[in-house]
Structure 1
Amino acid sequence: MSGITFNHVSKVYQQGENQVVALSDVSLSVSQGEFIAVVGPSGSGKSTFLSIAGALLQASEGEVTLNGKVIGDLKAKDLSKVRLEEIGFILQTSNLVPYLNVLDQLLVVKKMAGKVTNKDKENAKELLQHLGLESKIKKFPEHLSGGERQRTAIARALMNDPSIILADEPTASLDTQRAHEVVQLISREVKSRNKAAIMVTHDERMLEYCDKVYRMEDGKLMQSEFQKKVANDK
Structure 2
Amino acid sequence: MTRGLQMNDVTKYYAEGSNRIAALDHVTLSVEPGEFVAVVGPSGSGKSTFLSIAGAMLEASEGEVKLNGHTLSTLTAKELSNIRLQEIGFIMQSSNLVPYLNVLDQLLIVKRMSSTVTREDKQLATKLLEELGLGAKLTSLPEELSGGEKQRTAIARALINNPNVILADEPTASLDTKRAHEVVSLIAQEVKSRQKAAIMVTHDERMLEYCDKVYRMEDGKLSLFPLKDIYK
Same fold (TM over 0.5): yes
Residue in 2 aligned with 1:50? 51
- Deviant stretches of 4+, over 4 Å: none
Residue in 1 aligned with 2:41? 40
Matched, 1:210 2:211: yes
Task: For 1:132-171, list aligned pairs within 5 A.
Answer: 132-171=133-172
Residue in 2 aligned with 1:18? 19
Q: TM-score, normalised by structure 2?
A: 0.98
Task: For 1:115-134, list aligned pairs within 5 A.
Answer: 115-134=116-135
Letter of the 1:137 partner, please give it.
L
**Per-residue deviation at 1:16?**
2.2
Task: For 1:80-99, list aligned pairs within 5 A.
Answer: 80-99=81-100
Task: Write the distance in 2 (CA, Å) between the matches of 1:112 and 1:20.
Answer: 37
Task: Write the distance in 2 (CA, Å) between the matches of 1:122 and 1:67.
Answer: 27
Letter of the 2:130 partner, please give it.
Q
Task: Write the distance in 2 (CA, Å) between the matches of 1:26 and 1:121.
Answer: 40
Task: Give secondary structure in 2 for the equivalent of 1:13.
Answer: strand
Residue in 2 aligned with 1:196? 197
Could you report, residue by residue, the CA deviation over 1:37-92 in whole angstroms, capped at 9, with x for unpaired residues? 00000000000000000000000000000111101110000000000000000001
Task: Give secondary structure in 1 for the equivalent of 2:133.
Answer: coil
Task: Write the distance in 1 (CA, Å) between the matches of 2:119 and 2:139.
Answer: 17
Task: Give secondary structure in 1 for the equivalent of 2:42.
Answer: coil
Task: Give secondary structure in 1 for the equivalent of 2:111.
Answer: helix
Task: Write the distance in 2 (CA, Å) between the matches of 1:75 and 1:220.
Answer: 28
Task: Write the distance in 1 (CA, Å) between the matches of 2:203 and 2:73.
Answer: 29
Letter of the 2:173 partner, please give it.
A
**Per-residue deviation at 1:171?**
0.1
**Per-residue deviation at 1:228?**
3.0
Matched, 1:30 2:25: no
Letter of the 2:38 partner, please give it.
A
Task: Give secondary structure in 2 for the equivalent of 1:126.
Answer: helix
Task: Write the distance in 2 (CA, Å) between the matches of 1:40 and 1:152.
Answer: 27
Could you report, residue by residue, the CA deviation over 1:139-167 in whole angstroms, capped at 9, with x for unpaired residues? 00000000000000000000000000000
Task: Write the distance in 2 (CA, Å) between the matches of 1:9 and 1:76.
Answer: 20
Task: Give secondary structure in 2 for the equivalent of 1:14.
Answer: strand
Residue in 1 aligned with 2:228? 228
Residue in 1 aligned with 2:173? 172
Q: TM-score, normalised by structure 1?
A: 0.97
Task: Give secondary structure in 2 for the equivalent of 1:81.
Answer: helix
Task: Give secondary structure in 1 for the equivalent of 2:3.
Answer: coil
**For structure 1, which segment, 152-161 or 66-75, has the greater mean C-alpha deviation from structure 2 after superposition?**
66-75
Task: Write the distance in 2 (CA, Å) between the matches of 1:228 and 1:219.
Answer: 24
Task: Write the distance in 2 (CA, Å) between the matches of 1:67 and 1:129.
Answer: 28
Over the aligned positions, Cα root-mean-square deviation in angstroms equals 1.2
Matched, 1:112 2:113: yes
Q: State how many pairs are aligned.
A: 231
Residue in 2 aligned with 1:184? 185
**Per-residue deviation at 1:229?**
5.0
